[in-house]
Amino acid sequence: MIVEEHGGFFMVVVGVLALVVASPALSRLLVYPRTEFFTEFWILGPDRMAEGYPFNISSGQDYNVFLGIGNRLGYCGYYLVEVKFRNESMSAPDSFNRTPSSLPSLFNITAFVADEQVWELPITFSFDHVWDEAHSKVEFLGLRFNGVWLNMTGYEVSWDVERRGFLGFLFFEIWLYNSNVNAFQYHGRFVGLWLNMTVS
């Protein structure tokens, strides 16, 4: 019989087929070591989509976005998010060198995020700004951030001829607590929105 003559070959083929059929079930039982550890950091528009972001900003008008953190570090992360604002000539975070902006934080948010979990915060913000027609610039009085009034005296944006607007960058830097040094350290990531301050 064919089975008796080629028994070894037949057993190998049956074994391979059995593994192929069982592989989806086995993959759930086997635990592979994680090789990448990182943090996801994002900002979404008012409908929790990567679209519809506010751009033309009227003084005193509320705008909504969502800020999110995804922890893939392999342990519970203690995060600090610094809220900052800059014009085109002010200090920006450096993605290449992974250094934060030297600007002071306007507001801080802290969050514990368990490993493999996602944290999301709805944000409502509005700017109080005035147009200085004589100097062709917009001066800021304050920022209302989730109901908290933040003083922005001294912040201003000038007219950008190329982009045709009074542009400012509202951005969020993420910092991670390092228990070895008992301090938050910049985690090398930031997200933000370029905003055009409209004047009437």
* 157-171 residue pLDDT tens: 999 989 899 999 999
CATH of residue 110's domain is 2.60.40.10
- Give the count of domains, the chain: 2
Q: Are residues 77 and 169 in the same domain?
A: yes
Q: Are residues 128 and 192 in the same domain?
A: yes
The pTM of this model reads: 0.81
Q: pLDDT value at position 51?
A: 96
Q: Are residues 65 and 22 in the same domain?
A: no
Q: pLDDT value at position 199?
A: 81
Q: pLDDT value at position 5?
A: 63
Q: Are residues 122 and 55 in the same domain?
A: yes
Residue 43 token pair: 């900002």
69-89 pLDDT, tens digit each: 999 999 999 999 999 999 999
Q: Are residues 8 and 51 in the same domain?
A: no
Q: Are residues 17 and 80 in the same domain?
A: no
The string of DSSP letters for 117-154 reads -EEEEEEEEEEEEEEEGGGTEEEEEEEEETTEEEE-TT
122-133 pLDDT, tens digit each: 999 999 999 988
Q: Is the pLDDT of residue 181 over 70?
A: yes
Q: Which amino acid is at 183?
A: A
Q: Is the pLDDT of residue 24 over 80?
A: no
More confident residue, 86 or 10: 86
Q: Are residues 179 and 122 in the same domain?
A: yes
Q: Is the pLDDT of residue 135 over 90?
A: no
Q: Is the pLDDT of residue 110 over 60?
A: yes
DSSP 179: T
Q: Are residues 42 and 18 in the same domain?
A: no
Q: Are residues 118 and 178 in the same domain?
A: yes
Q: Are residues 160 and 166 in contact, defined by beta-carbon separation less than 8 angstroms?
A: yes
Among candidates 129, 104, 141, which has minimal Cα distance to 196? 129
Q: Are residues 14 and 55 in the same domain?
A: no
Q: pLDDT value at position 108?
A: 98
Q: Are residues 114 and 28 in the same domain?
A: no
Name the pLDDT band for 20 (thresholds 50, 70, 90). Answer: low
What is the domain range of residue 9? 1-32
Q: Are residues 56 and 27 in the same domain?
A: no
Cα 194 to Cα 4, 35, 85, 90: the distances in Å are 75, 35, 10, 14
Cα–Cα distance for residue pair 150/96, rounded to 1 Å: 30
Q: Are residues 192 and 87 in contact, defined by beta-carbon separation less than 8 angstroms?
A: no
